[in-house]
Amino acid sequence: MIKRWQGECSVPLKSFFIELVAIDFMSNWAYRGKSSVYYDWMIRDFLDFLIQKSGSYVYAPGTFEVMNIGSVWKSKAETAKQRANNACSHETAQAWGLAGDEWQKIFGTDIPKWP
């Protein structure tokens, strides 16, 4: 899902870095064992986790090479996080169309607007 955001919003963050951060995130995410009902929270929480990693490092599996993930992508992640927050709020209010609009701003119109 995050790679879809990366492509849709032209996020200058390497896919490999996204994968490594996602592994780290999912190993500790409070709702990791829950159903797909929690995907909205997962996206919101992952974007927050990713933003916190701005300017930090990840380690290559096996070689443990240190790789700086940079921060040029941070503003796009902050924008997506705000949109995800908005979408989650709209879902809580059962404003499905408004939530769908926000998700499409993150992932593009190939995803359905309505649940």
Note the pLDDT of residue 99: 98
pTM: 0.93
Sign (positive/negative) of CA torsion 25, 72, 17, 56?
Answer: negative
Note the pLDDT of residue 25: 96
Pairing relationship of beta strands 57-59 and 66-68 according to DSSP bridges: antiparallel
Note the pLDDT of residue 36: 82
Note the pLDDT of residue 67: 97
- Residue-wise pLDDT for 49-108, tens only, equals 999 999 999 999 999 999 999 999 999 999 999 999 999 999 999 999 999 999 999 999
